Amino acid sequence: MAYDDNNIFAKILRGEAPCFKVYEDEKTFAFMDVMPQVDMHTLVIPKFPAENLFDLSPEYAAAMATTVQTVARAVKNASDKPGVMIAQLNGSEAGQTVFHIHTHIIPREGGIDLKFHARDLADFKLLEAQAEKIIQNL
């Protein structure tokens, strides 16, 4: 499959679609997942047109890993959860639904089930408040 410049994450990067931004640098962008599996579910994407890990340059993969580490620490602190799940899916068979590489940062604690992925829109006021809390922890 060829990279689709009209995927939602490409539109977010171009400013054509709204999001609740948490972090941005020269090579990466982090924002709230609007269909979260738990509160404070955050996504990190590279500013590089890659569908999956296999299409991503090593330079952008390294930048993405650094941003994931930075944002995951802030999410963990902001959520006050003891664990953080980091997930990155490659291809529809693996569960990828948006074909711009992205990493999920999902705060976790024992006994709490995850909601289904990409099913229900969250309350945007709640996402905005969660984004602010994460930003305060960066």
Residue 102 bears catalytic tag: yes
CB 48 within 8 A of CB 56: yes
Instruction: Give residue 40's identity as a one-letter amino acid code.
Output: M
The residue from 41, 102, 104, 117 that is catalytic is 102
| C-alpha span between 108 and 36 (Å, rounded) | 13
CA separation for the pair 116, 76 (Å, rounded): 21
Cα separation of 5 and 28, whole Å?
Answer: 17
d(CA 69, CA 62): 11
**Residues with catalytic function:** 102
